[in-house]
Each structure stands twice: as structure tokens, then as C-alpha cells.
Structure 1
Amino acid sequence: MHFALLGNNRIEAQPKLNGLCSCCSKPVIAKCGTRKIWHWAHKSKTDCDNWWEPETEWHRTWKNNYSADWQEISLLNKRTGEKHIADVRTVHNLVIEFQHSHINPQERTSREQFYKNMVWVVDGTRLKRDYPRFLKEWKSDGISEVHQTDKSGIFKVWFPEFCFPEHWLKSSVPVIFDFRGDGSMDDSEGLRNTLYCLFPQFGRHARVAKISRKAFIKATTNGEWTLRVLDFINEFRIQDEIELRKQQQTMPHSSNKIIYTWRGIPLIGGYKKNRKRL
């Protein structure tokens, strides 16, 4: 962890210091070596926050885009007594969780239900194959069918499982994919510097928005993010309802064509039926 309590102050790790964990109030010691970023660690194994993961430089760099007063905020569910540390919680009550390591769907769902108003930022460089797979699909060389909508920067994706890790596809909140990592990877086309926001999917296809880092940080800082997301999602729902009605009106009730499906999406005449997943 980045901060611990020393007296009434939240301080960063420094050599030979001892402090208290802001979540469980148990002793922590400063770890200030040369191999890992300086951090606080519990003196002994303890039942603190089982959602907490070791921080990387990627975590710390992202968190430092926000005020120190917003970082590592302990939140308590008064009804259940459950307590967890949010990576960032803004003054507008938006929680931002930065996720590098693998997370199972059950824990992802639990976090979303606990924090409610939140957004994930996922390190897309954890697995070597994730970015090449995404790039192939995004540049229309794959079979995901990425189509830009009439709204600038927002795309429809028919098969998001070919673009993104599958365990993020059913998230109930937006997921931001960051493919830049520590910035040392080759990016001749400048695609890694853009963030890609996967919205919760309600209709026949997913929506993905391209957004700059500066715009994301600004929107999550000034309180605009939550309202924008709600507006987008409401608009997506309306668009899907209109498309569904049009399809029902134009599709004949009886047809000799075979209708195949992929994850519930009708594929007329077996289109892409035999395409193998990468």
C-alpha cells in the first residue's frame, strides 16, 4: 500500500518507519528496497482486505494522477460490516479500481456490487497476446466487426470476445483498457496511448469508446464521468430497441434460410458459422 497512518497523518513509506493500516488498524512496516516500489506491508499475515493486490509501477503511476487525499480510501458497508480499500475514490463518490493481476468473475462482481458507482482501469499488457489480438480485430483484420457509429469515437463491436479478455465482458460497469503499460513498448501508430472503454453490454453488440488519458482523468476528476456514462447507456438502450423493432418488422415470419446464432446473435445463412475463435 502507498499510505499508512502515523499519528493522525497519512504518509508514504520511508525507511525504518512503522505505521498503522488505514483499513484494519494493524501495524505495518515500510518496505524501501531497490527491487520494488517503496510501500507499506503488514508485519504479519492478517485478515485485512482480501481484494488488495501488490502494487506495480503501473498502479502507482495511475493513482498519482489523482489527489493523495483520494487514494486508498477505506469504505465500510454499515449493514454488513464489510470493509475494503478503494484505489481511488473521488469527492464525487466515484471509485476507480486499477487492476493488473487476473481477477475471477465472482470477485469482479462482488467489487462492483460493493462500490456501485465505479469504473475499472485494466492493464492490457499483463498477457503478451492481449494487445496483438486486440490490434488485429480493431484494425478490421479480424472477425469482430468493429464499426464506427454516428457518434464520434464510439464503435459497435459484434464479437467483443475476440477483442478483449472474456472475463471482463459481463462487467456491470465501464472497463477501461490501457495497452500502454510502462510506455516502453513499441507503438509506431500511437494506438497504445489511447484508452478503450468497454461499456456494459445490454443489446446485440458491445459499444467501445476511444478516449484520451487526459479526457478520462479530467472527467473522473470533475464529476462528469458518471453522468456521461449514464447518458451513453440510456442512448444505447434506445438504439437497441429501435434496431430490434426494425428487425422484427423486416424479417419474414417464415423463411427457408437457416438461422444460426453466436452467443444469442442471429447469423443469417450461417455467416461466420465456421470461423474459429483465435
Structure 2
Amino acid sequence: MHRADVFTPCGTAIEFQNSPITLAEMRSREAFYPKLVWIVNGKKFKGFRLLKNLPHPNDPKLANYEFCNSDHLSMVRKSEVLSDFIKPTVLNFFHPEIKGVAITSNFYHFCWKQPHAVWYETKAPIFVDLGGHFLYQMRTRKQLSGDYAYLEMISRKSFIERYVCLG
């Protein structure tokens, strides 16, 4: 038996999560609610912080590159990953190959020193609440060298318009 924290007029269940959750419990809730959205309290994540603004992760200019999973915003050439280079060349956004790629104001590179791995397994949309006027949707860019998690910032108003369906 599950009871959503919020059940909207358009049938979306919103779960606010302030404490750790097991993978089994998360999957149980996701199976129970066909339209589920998670909002997790990011202030309680130890070692979680926003680092830098990103270019749009699906920018066509980045098609031949992969983001590095490190604290520093950098990329490697996909061709070097495919060729099994032991240490692919690390490029920052001042490197001539990717210098012209525009950095956005709504995509973020983040660091999470002690991640709750369960949140990387969710099928439902997950939003991190760090306080303020914005939420951060956790997204994933599929890559050969391993998926790259990033955040997309959205306003609380946009979230309500999209998921609460008041009108």
C-alpha cells in the first residue's frame, strides 16, 4: 500500500523524499504509480554541490566528444574512447576544438561525493530541491565511457505548470 505525498488533478503522483530509500522501495512506488515524479531534498545530500554551467549536453558540436566524470568540466574525444586509449586527451572548454561551444545558464555539472546510488536507477523523473526558486532535474547523457549525469535547472513555476495541471 502506497500513499503519495501529493496526487495532482491530472493524475501525477509527487513523492517528496527527505531520507534514503531502498532500491526495492523505489521500484515498488514506481510500479504502483504510473505517473510518478520524485522531488528529493538535495540539502540533505552530503558532499553534493553544483559546480559549473554546461553547454547543452546534446549540442551537435559535442557529438564527437564525451564528458569526463570528474569534478572539473572537461571532455575527451569519442574517437580516442573507441580506440581504447589508456589515457584519452582531456580537453577543457578553452581548447580550440570546443572553445566555441556556448555554455548555458540552465545545465549544470555537479559533484556528489557520497551518492545515493538508488537515485541513478529511477525510471521516473527526479528533481533535486536545493531551496530557492529553482529545481534541478537529474538527467543522463549516454556515453561510451559511462553515462554522464548532469542537472537541468527549471523554475518551480515551470514544474507546477508541467506536473501539477491546475488549469
TM-score by length of 2: 0.58
**Aligned residue runs from structure 1 range 29-178, under 5 A:** 83-127=1-45, 129-130=46-47, 133-135=48-50, 137-138=51-52, 142-143=71-72, 145=74, 155=107, 165-178=116-129
Instruction: After superposition, give the CA deviation of every residue in 1:117-176 in whole Å (9 maximum; x if it has no partner).
Output: 11100111224x34xx313x34689236599x979665375x875596433112111111
Matched length: 124
Instruction: After superposition, give the CA deviation of every residue in 1:180-208 in whole Å (9 maximum; x if it has no partner).
Output: 2xxxxxxxxxxx44211013x47223352
Larger relative helix fraction: 1
The aligned counterpart of 1:203 is: 142
The aligned counterpart of 1:212 is: 155
C-alpha RMSD over aligned residues: 3.7
The aligned counterpart of 1:7 is: none
Call closer, same or farther: CA 1:145–1:172 in 2, change over 3 Å. Answer: farther
TM-score by length of 1: 0.37
The aligned counterpart of 2:60 is: none
Task: State the shift of 1:218 in Å.
Answer: 2.2
> Which residue of 134, 139, 144 corresponds with 1:194?
134
Larger relative strand fraction: 2
Which stretches in structure 1 are left out of the alignment for 5+ residues?
1-82, 181-191, 225-278
Higher relative contact order (CA 8 A, sep 6+): 2
SS at match of 1:101: coil
Call closer, same or farther: CA 1:196–1:145 in 2, change over 3 Å. Answer: farther
| Separation (CA, whole Å) in 1 of partners of 2:114 and 2:155 | 19
- Bigger Rg over Cα: 1
Task: State the shift of 1:220 in Å.
Answer: 1.5
